[in-house]
C-alpha cells in the first residue's frame, strides 16, 4: 500500500480562493487602481479602514508599513521597503514578488505560500482589506524578509520592524513517505544542496545535515507505512524510525530539485544496503545517475520483457502470447546491446515467470541502471492497427489511445491488482505526483530523446508510418530513477505483425534497432562507450 502520508507534499501552484468577479475588480487596487476606485471600494465595503501605521527599519532607512493591530501587515509596503519587485494580477489579486532570483506568489486566501518551487505554510491566510493585501506577521518573518536576505523582529510598543542582514537561510525540508513494494522510500525534498552523513542502527536510520541549519517541516510525524513508523527531527538530525527492527536502508541524493532519497527494506530486498551497524562516520550516500567522468565506466541497461507467468499480456489471433514475444525480443536486446556499447545488460526476467510491475523498476534501481527499457507488444480493437510505438512517462497521456495502452499495461499487474490506485486515471494524483516527481522528472528530457531515437530506428524496421513517441502514465515506468521508456514493438493483434513477432529475423531486427538507438543516444553523452558506429539515421 502507498504511504498514508504521501499527500503531505504540497502542489507546486498557489492555492488561493477565487472570489466573486465584483470583488476581483478591486483586487489590490491600492497598487493598481486610481484613488477613485479605492474610494468606490470603501463605499462598497461600507467601512473606513482602521489602518494603522507601523515602520520598517532596514539598512539605515525607515519605511512606513500599513498594519491591522500589529498582527497583519501590508505585503506590498514591506516588499518595496526591502527593494523587492511587486507585480499584481488585476484579475486574481495575486502578488508576484521577486528579488535575488527568487519568487513568491501571494493572493487573497493564500495560507500555503509558493516560494520558488516550495510551499511554505503561514499561520493564517493573506486577506484583502480595503484594497490592500495583508498577511500575518510570520509571513514576513518566514517568507518575505528571507527573500531579501534579512531577518526581523517586530516591537509592538514601538510599532517597528527592525531588520538585520540574515545569515544563510536554513535548509527547508519536506518529507514524503512512499511504499512501493517491497521497499519504502523516504524522500527529503530540500530547498538546496546539502551535505549529509547517514547511519543505520537496529531500529532507525539517521540523516545528519552537517553543514547547514535546517528548517524541519515538523518535530515528529507518524506514518501509516509497512516499514516506516515515524520521522523525527532534533537539531541537525533527522531520524527515520523503523516499524520493525533490523531493516536495511541506503540513501542517495538526487538533484533538480535537490532531494535525499532513503530506501528502506528488509535485508533480502536491499542487497546493496550498508551493514546494519555502520557508525555515523560512515556515510553510505552514493551518487545517483549515470557514471560520468572517466567515460569508460560500463553502462548498466535493464531490459524488461513485459508480462510473464500467469500474466500473458495480449494474445494474437494466431495464439501468440505477448509474454512470449517480449521475452524472446528482450533476450535478443540484452545480447545485442553489448556489441554496440560498453554496457552490462540486465534482464528483469529471463524465463516465463510472473513479476509485479513494481519489482521491475526496483530491479533497475537496485542495479543502479543507466537506462530502463520495457518491451511490450501492442494490441488494438482495430485488427489493421500496425507499427511500433515508444512511450516515456507522463502523468498526462498525450492522446486518448496512449491512455488506453497505458490502462491496459497498468492493469496487467502481477499483484493481481494490489495497487489499483496506481493505475492510470484512477485518481490518486498526490501519490502519482510524488512517485513521478521523485523518479522521472529529472530524466524526462533524456527519456524523450531515447524514445525518439528508438522510434526512428523501429520505423525503419517496421517500414510503417511513424506512430510517433508518446507520453502516458505507465505504472512500470513510475519509480524508475533513470531515463526509462516503454516500447510497443508491433501489434500482436494484427495477424501479419503477429507472424513477424514470431520470426527470429524480426525479433533480431528489433533488437538491432534498439541497440543502434541506444548507441545513438550515448554517442554524444558518452562517446567512449560506443563500440560500433551506429548505422546512419534512416530517413
Ligand atoms: Zn504489454
Against a cut of 0.85, is the pTM above it?
Answer: no
Residue 292's CB is within 10 A of a number of other CB atoms, namely 10
Domain boundary among 135, 165, 195: 165
In-domain check, residue 286: no
Ligand 1 mean position, distance from CA 306 (Å): 5
In this structure, are 264 and 397 located in the same domain?
Answer: no
SS3 state of residue 283: coil
Which range (46-55, 248-257, 332-341) has the least confidence?
A: 46-55
Between 290 and 51, the higher pLDDT residue = 51
Phi, psi of 359 (to 5 degrees): -65, -30
Query: Sign of torsion, CA 249 250 256 258?
Result: positive
Q: Can you tell me the mean pLDDT for 424-450?
A: 56
Residue 178 in grid coordinates: 512512499
Ligand 1 mean position, distance from CA 83 (Å): 57
In this structure, are 325 and 201 located in the same domain?
Answer: no
Residue 55 has pLDDT above 80, yes or no: yes
Give percent above pLDDT 90 in the chain.
36
The pLDDT mean for the chain works out to 76
In this structure, are 145 and 256 located in the same domain?
Answer: no
Ligand 1 mean position, distance from CA 410 (Å): 9
Look up the CATH number of the domain holding residue 154. 3.30.457.10
For 331-374, what is each residue's pLDDT tens digit?
Answer: 999 999 999 998 999 999 999 988 877 778 878 888 889 999 99
How far is residue 449's CA from residue 470's CA, in Å, rounded to a whole number?
A: 12
pLDDT for the residue 297: 58
Ligand 1 mean position, distance from CA 349 (Å): 14
Ligand 1 mean position, distance from CA 468 (Å): 18
Query: Sign of torsion, CA 381 385 387 390?
Result: negative
Domain boundary among 165, 193, 217: 165
In this structure, are 234 and 183 located in the same domain?
Answer: yes
pLDDT for the residue 356: 79
Ligand 1 mean position, distance from CA 439 (Å): 22
pLDDT for the residue 72: 95
Instruction: Determine the structural domain holding residue 224 and report its residue range.
Output: 171-269
Q: Which residue from 386, 395, 385, 367 is spatially nearest to 304, judged by alpha carbons?
A: 367
Look up the CATH number of the domain holding residue 321. 3.40.630.40
**Which residues are CB-contacts of 214 (< 8 A; sequence separation ≥ 6)?**
170, 171, 172, 173, 194, 233, 236, 238
Which bin fits 333, alpha (ψ -120 to 50), beta or left (φ > 0)? alpha
Q: Which residue from 128, 140, 30 is spatially nearest to 79, judged by alpha carbons?
A: 140
Phi, psi of 478 (to 5 degrees): -65, 135
pLDDT for the residue 479: 67
In this structure, are 32 and 56 located in the same domain?
Answer: yes
Ligand 1 mean position, distance from CA 376 (Å): 4
Look up the CATH number of the domain holding residue 252. 2.60.40.3470
Ligand 1 mean position, distance from CA 494 (Å): 15
Ligand 1 mean position, distance from CA 102 (Å): 44
How far is residue 229's CA from residue 4's CA, in Å, rounded to a whole number?
A: 11
Under 8 Å between Cβ of 424 and 476: no
Instruction: Report the DSSP pairing between strands 118-121 and 204-209.
Output: unpaired
pLDDT for the residue 62: 94
Q: Can you tell me the mean pLDDT for 268-289?
A: 37
pLDDT band at 526 (very low <50, low <70, confident <90, very high): confident
Ligand 1 mean position, distance from CA 368 (Å): 24
pLDDT for the residue 303: 96
Ligand 1 mean position, distance from CA 472 (Å): 14
In this structure, are 209 and 305 located in the same domain?
Answer: no
How far is residue 102's CA from residue 83's CA, in Å, rounded to a whole number?
A: 13
Residue 12 has pLDDT above 70, yes or no: no
For 176-232, what is each residue's pLDDT tens digit?
Answer: 887 766 788 888 888 888 889 999 999 999 999 988 889 888 899 998 889 999 999
In this structure, are 156 and 205 located in the same domain?
Answer: no
Residue 436 has pLDDT above 60, yes or no: no
In this structure, are 106 and 154 located in the same domain?
Answer: yes
pLDDT for the residue 478: 67
Write down the H helix ranges in 466-529: 495-502, 504-525
In this structure, are 82 and 191 located in the same domain?
Answer: no
pLDDT band at 442 (very low <50, low <70, confident <90, very high): low
In this structure, are 180 and 118 located in the same domain?
Answer: no
Max distance between CA atoms of the chain, in angstroms, equals: 87
In-domain check, residue 45: yes
Q: Which residue from 248, 280, 251, 279 is spatially nearest to 265, judged by alpha carbons?
A: 248
Ligand 1 mean position, distance from CA 409 (Å): 5
In-domain check, residue 142: yes
In-domain check, residue 285: no
Ligand 1 mean position, distance from CA 405 (Å): 8
Split into its structural domains, the chain has a count of: 3
In this structure, are 244 and 376 located in the same domain?
Answer: no
In-domain check, residue 33: yes
Amino acid at each position: 500500500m502507498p504511504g498514508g502520508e504521501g499527500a503531505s507534499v504540497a502542489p507546486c501552484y498557489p492555492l488561493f480562493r477565487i472570489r466573486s468577479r465584483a470583488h476581483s475588480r478591486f483586487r489590490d487596487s491600492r497598487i493598481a487602481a486610481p484613488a477613485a476606485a479605492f474610494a468606490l471600494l470603501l463605499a462598497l465595503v461600507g467601512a473606513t479602514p482602521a489602518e494603522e501605521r507601523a515602520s520598517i527599519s532596514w539598512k539605515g532607512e525607515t519605511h512606513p508599513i500599513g498594519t491591522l493591530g500589529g498582527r497583519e501587515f501590508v505585503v506590498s509596503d514591506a516588499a518595496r521597503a526591502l527593494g523587492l519587485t511587486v507585480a499584481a494580477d488585476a484579475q486574481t489579486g495575486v502578488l508576484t514578488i521577486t528579488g535575488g532570483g527568487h519568487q513568491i506568489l501571494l493572493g487573497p486566501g493564500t495560507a500555503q505560500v509558493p516560494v520558488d518551487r516550495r510551499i511554505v505554510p503561514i499561520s493564517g491566510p493573506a486577506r484583502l482589506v480595503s484594497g490592500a493585501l495583508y498577511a500575518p506577521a510570520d509571513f514576513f518573518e518566514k517568507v518575505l524578509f528571507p527573500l531579501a536576505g534579512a531577518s526581523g523582529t517586530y516591537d509592538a510598543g514601538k510599532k517597528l520592524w527592525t531588520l538585520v542582514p540574515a545569515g544563510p537561510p536554513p535548509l527547508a525540508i519536506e518529507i514524503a513517505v512512499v511504499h512501493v513494494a517491497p521497499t519504502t522510500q523516504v524522500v527529503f525534498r530540500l530547498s538546496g544542496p546539502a551535505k549529509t552523513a547517514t547511519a543505520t542502527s537496529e531500529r532507525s536510520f539517521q540523516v545528519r545535515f552537517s553543514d547547514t541549519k535546517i528548517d524541519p517541516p515538523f518535530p515528529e510525524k507518524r506514518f501509516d507505512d509497512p516499514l516506516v513508523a515515524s520521522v523525527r527531527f532534533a537539531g541537525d538530525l533527522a531520524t527515520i524510525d523503523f516499524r520493525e527492527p533490523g531493516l536495511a536502508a541506503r540513501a542517495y541524493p538526487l538533484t533538480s530539485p535537490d532531494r535525499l532519497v532513503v530506501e528502506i527494506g528488509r535485508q533480502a530486498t536491499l542487497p546493496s544496503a550498508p551493514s546494519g551497524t555502520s557508525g555515523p562516520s560512515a556515510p553510505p550516500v552514493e551518487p545517483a545517475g549515470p557514471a560520468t567522468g572517466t567515460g569508460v565506466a560500463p553502462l548498466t541497461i535493464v531490459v524488461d520483457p513485459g508480462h510473464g507467468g500467469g500474466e500473458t499480456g495480449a494474445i494474437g489471433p494466431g495464439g501468440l502470447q505477448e509474454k512470449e514475444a517480449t521475452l524472446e525480443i528482450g533476450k535478443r536486446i540484452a545480447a545485442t546491446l553489448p556489441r554496440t556499447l560498453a554496457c552490462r545488460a540486465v534482464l528483469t526476467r529471463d524465463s516465463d515467470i510472473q513479476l509485479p510491475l513494481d519489482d521491475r523498476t526496483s530491479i533497475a534501481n537496485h542495479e543502479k541502471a543507466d537506462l530502463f527499457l520495457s518491451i511490450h507488444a501492442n494490441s488494438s480493437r482495430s485488427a489493421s492497427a500496425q507499427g511500433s510505438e515508444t512511450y516515456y512517462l507522463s502523468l498526462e497521456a498525450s492522446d486518448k489511445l496512449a491512455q488506453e495502452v497505458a490502462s491496459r499495461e497498468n492493469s496487467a499487474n502481477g499483484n493481481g491488482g494490489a495497487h489499483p490506485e496506481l493505475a492510470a486515471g484512477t485518481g490518486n494524483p498526490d501519490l502519482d505526483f510524488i512517485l513521478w516527481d521523485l523518479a522521472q522528472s529529472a530524466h524526462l528530457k533524456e527519456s524523450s530523446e531515447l524514445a525518439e531515437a528508438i522510434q526512428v530506428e523501429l520505423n525503419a524496421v517496421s517500414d510503417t508510418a511513424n506512430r510517433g513517441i508518446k507520453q502516458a502514465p505507465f505504472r512500470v515506468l513510475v519509480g524508475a530513477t533513470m531515463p526509462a521508456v516503454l516500447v510497443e514493438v508491433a501489434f500482436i493483434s494484427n495477424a501479419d505483425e503477429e507472424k513477424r513477432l514470431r520470426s527470429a529475423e524480426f525479433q533480431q531486427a528489433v533488437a538491432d534497432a534498439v541497440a543502434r538507438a541506444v548507441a545513438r543516444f550515448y554517442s554524444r553523452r558518452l562517446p567512449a562507450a560506443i563500440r560500433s558506429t551506429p548505422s546512419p539515421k534512416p530517413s
